[in-house]
Every structure is written in C-alpha cells, then in structure tokens.
Amino acid sequence: MSDLLQTYQQRLLETFGGSTIEHAGDVTVVLPAENILAAARMIHDELGFDYLVYVTAVDYWPQENPRFHVAYGFRSLAQKLTLYVRAPVSGIEPVLPSIESVYKNANWQEREVYDMFGIRFEGHPDLRRILMPADWVGHPQRKDYPLGYEEPQYSFNFDEIKARKPAPKE
C-alpha cells in the first residue's frame, strides 16, 4: 500500500474516529455512519478522490447492531489510488446520510441499496425503488428475506413444450 494512501486513511481516522479492517492486502476505513457525508466531502475536496466507484451494502444478519455495513469505493484518477470506506448501520430503522450532494453518481447507487437492503439515505433527492416494482414488499438482498415457497411471478409451461412434436425432417 502506498504511503500516501496510509496518510489519507490516518487523516480520516483522526478527523472522524473509527477503525480499520485489513483483508487480502486492502485496508478499509470504518467510519461512524453520522460522519459519512462530512468524510465524503473531505475525500472529494481535500484528498482529491474525484470518482465514486461504488456504493453497496453487506448484511450481517442475525446480528442487529450493526446489522449492515454500507461500503464505498473512492478513486483518485490523478493519484491512481483507491480508498475503501465502510459505515456500520443498525438493523433497526437503518438510515445513513446521502453523499449524492458530493458525488452525483451516488444517486442511483444509493437507490439500489435502498431498494435491495432497505437502508434509507437521509437527504437523498429521489429515494425510491429502482430495480423492483414500486409495490414490491420487502428487500430481496436482506439475509432474512424469504426464499422459496413463494408463488412465481412469471411462469413457463414446460409440459406444453414437451408435448409438442418435433418438426418433420425433410
């Protein structure tokens, strides 16, 4: 890991508190959820990370506090660095500040996290479902989302296909 990236990580920890996680040679800065917007501003404006690569979530169910981690990847194209940040979020009324005002491409990514995990992003300008129908009940990427035994929404009649006779060979 570059010394510059370590300096940035240390600066985030000193400013906002938190901790780090190291896995497979990558270090992730874990910041308190309430500081994520201010941290995103610092990451963008002061540290020069001009591109938000992704916003996604991880569900640690049945653990409740925190149940989720919202994960962010920030990229500095000029410095050729990637900074990984996470924010732990409670499973009871999961909410986190939106970073859409800093990184415009967070808009649809936060909507996807909301749709799939049910994590609300406070201050988001248009927080509504993006992948599932508007009347869908539940959040399919949650680990406690029921699997199986649901009525299929779309069906395909395999018996009808099997009953068809093959076309005659000429």
Query: Range of 131's domain?
Result: 3-163
Q: Which pLDDT score is estimated for 160?
A: 63
Asked if pLDDT for residue 152 goes beyond 60, the answer is no
- The reply to whether 170 falls in a domain is no
Asked if pLDDT for residue 130 goes beyond 90, the answer is yes
pLDDT digits (tens, 9 = 90+) for 4-25: 999 999 999 999 999 999 999 8
- The reply to whether 168 falls in a domain is no
Q: Which pLDDT score is estimated for 168?
A: 64
- The reply to whether 169 falls in a domain is no
Query: Percent of the chain scored above 70 by pLDDT?
Result: 86
Among candidate residues 112, 137, 139, the one with its CA nearest the CA of residue 124: 112
As for how many domains the chain has, the answer is: 1
Among candidate residues 58, 57, 29, the one with its CA nearest the CA of residue 43: 29
Asked if residue 94 lies in contact with residue 118, where contact means CB atoms within 8 angstroms, the answer is: yes
Q: Which amino acid is at 152?
A: P
Q: Which pLDDT score is estimated for 146?
A: 81
Q: List, in sequence order, every residue forming a beta bridge with 69; answer none if it has no partner.
A: 58, 88
What does the alpha-carbon distance between residue 40 and residue 1 come to, in Å, rounded to a whole number? 21
| CATH code of residue 24 | 3.30.460.80
Q: Which pLDDT score is estimated for 153?
A: 57
For 99-142, what is the HEC assignment? CCCCCCCHHHHHHHHHHHHCCEEECCCCCCCCCCCCCCCCCCCC
Asked if pLDDT for residue 148 goes beyond 90, the answer is no
Q: Which pLDDT score is estimated for 89?
A: 97
> What number is the average pLDDT over the span 26-51?
97
Q: Which pLDDT score is estimated for 4?
A: 95
CA dihedral 116, 121, 123, 126 (to 10 degrees): 0
